[in-house]
Amino acid sequence: MGWFNGLKFDVNITNVTYWGANGVENTGNSTIVPVMSYREAGQNVTLAGVVNGMPVNVSAVTNAEGKIVLDVGSGDYWLSVIHDDDSYYSSAKAVFTNMKIIVIENNVTVNVPSDVTGNVSIIVNNVTYPVSIVNGTGSIKVPSMPSGPVEVVISNDSKYGNISYEVTPFVPVSIDSNKNVNVFYLEPASYSVCVLVDKKPVSGIKVKFTVAGKTYYAPTNAKGIATVKLSLAPGKYTITASYSGKTVKNSVTVKQIISAKKTTNVKKSKKQTFITITVKGHKVKQSVNVKFTYKGKNKIAVSFGKDMKKQKVTVKFKGKKYYVKVNAKGKGTLKLTKKVAKKLKKGKKYTTKVTYKGPKLYKKAKLTVKFNGKKYSVKTNAYGIAKFKVTKNMVKKLKKGKTLGYTITYKKATLKRFVKIK
């Protein structure tokens, strides 16, 4: 904001020359004669000149603070200020240029005319901070981000005298490259963002991440990328990344790896009922042995299994490598070379090694089943499958028709299922 014969309006000032009444100038560094209506309301004023190359002629009346707001934003100005009500007030001329207050995190960078020799201070959140200026630029770290405009005060300057102006802080920070995260529980997962300052990646700054009620910090690398690793229980979350007042957010979905029939019927009269529990996760590269029967032709129909459906698998057989496309039903055709096929016996079963990308099988995983107030332990086999046995004694006190909930837990993952007593 600049002061013109007691009139205050919102622009960015770099060079101001005042003429007082009858051309009289103040002594010392001041270039303006004190006026009687300083901050006086209801004064008619004309603002005339050029704003960013366009002519401007505005008639205005000072408000209760004796202030006139020139709402033109930052830019290049040449203006004269004329008091229309009293000849005691002469015109004041000023040149304005685009001056920024740059805020990155809590660091405030101030730009003033390069020939300023006086004292410079800024007012941030109603607190005044002196700023050391070198070649028109100075920086200072403040306790918190500015909540509104920053006022710059130049005082005791040999050329500019005592002036002040307000500038809306410019935060040249952007955060991008952020994406939603969709993973299985225990699958290696992370969330990354790229921090740009003046549209360029910046390294070595700390980005704040918040997810599931917890806060983490991670530094940016040479490419401006900050990454935080995720280790969350199955569920849906919102994650945010923040730096210097800029925030982005994304969703994080962590899928369950435990599966079991939603409701299992249990007869009270039956000695025992088995509940099948499967623990399978994200897709990983793995190998299994698959059997097939040779029927006399080099093109052999093979059942690979549903875990290999809709992908191309690698088959190793008799020192040769083959690629087979598996359909949605888990079946594919293995095309052997005629030389290899001739050495096989019709009707004989053969075993081949198949490499594919399929769900990770959690083998020998210890599960805790909480059933009717008691805890039981079961382990998965080589195929990630466990059998939980419900005995007659476990349900003998339950009434027929009752639906009982139970839980299956593996590490941080918990699945709720039900049994229906028959």
Alpha carbons 207 and 192: distance in angstroms, whole number: 10
State residue 173's pLDDT score. 92
Least confident segment among 152-161, 248-257, 348-357: 152-161
Give Cβ neighbours of residue 407 (< 8 Å, ≥ 6 apart).
369, 370, 414, 415, 416, 417
Answer yes or no: is pLDDT of 348 > 60: yes
The terminus-to-terminus CA distance of the chain in angstroms comes to 82
- Give the 3-state secondary structure of 151-202: EEEEEEECCCEEEEEEECCECCEEEECCCCEEEECCCCEEEEEEEEECCEEC
Answer yes or no: is pLDDT of 148 > 90: no
- Could you report the per-residue pLDDT of 37-56, keeping only the tens digit for each? 334 566 666 665 555 555 66
- When mean pLDDT is compared over 21-35, 89-103, 397-411, the highest value belongs to 397-411
pTM over cut 0.95:
no
Answer yes or no: is pLDDT of 78 > 80: no
State residue 160's pLDDT score. 66
Confidence of residue 94 (pLDDT cuts 50, 70, 90): very low
State residue 150's pLDDT score. 86
State residue 46's pLDDT score. 63
Average pLDDT over residues 193-202: 92
Tokens 């969330």 map to which residue?
191
State residue 45's pLDDT score. 62
CA 213 to chain centre: 15
Average pLDDT over residues 130-141: 92
Alpha carbons 395 and 129: distance in angstroms, whole number: 75
Answer yes or no: is pLDDT of 228 > 50: yes
Answer yes or no: is pLDDT of 404 > 90: yes
Average pLDDT over residues 203-230: 97
- Could you report the per-residue pLDDT of 239-269, keeping only the tens digit for each? 999 999 899 999 999 999 999 999 999 999 9
- Whether 277 contacts 270, CB under 8 Å: no
Answer yes or no: is pLDDT of 336 > 80: yes
Answer yes or no: is pLDDT of 11 > 50: no
- Whether 108 contacts 70, CB under 8 Å: no
Ordered by where they begin, the domains of the chain are 2-167 (no CATH), 173-255 (2.60.40.10), 258-279+363-421 (2.60.40.10), 283-360 (2.40.30)
Alpha carbons 314 and 319: distance in angstroms, whole number: 13
Alpha carbons 60 and 322: distance in angstroms, whole number: 85
- Look up residue 104 and give its two tokens: 């990155």
**Higher confidence at residue 274 or residue 91?**
274
State residue 263's pLDDT score. 97
Confidence of residue 152 (pLDDT cuts 50, 70, 90): confident
Answer yes or no: is pLDDT of 23 > 60: no
- Look up residue 237 and give its two tokens: 């979350």
What percentage of residues in the chain have a pLDDT greater than 90? 64
- Could you report the per-residue pLDDT of 271-317, keeping only the tens digit for each? 999 999 999 999 999 999 999 999 999 999 999 998 899 999 999 99
Average pLDDT over residues 383-400: 95
Alpha carbons 193 and 160: distance in angstroms, whole number: 45
State residue 113's pLDDT score. 76
What percentage of residues in the chain have a pLDDT greater than 70? 75
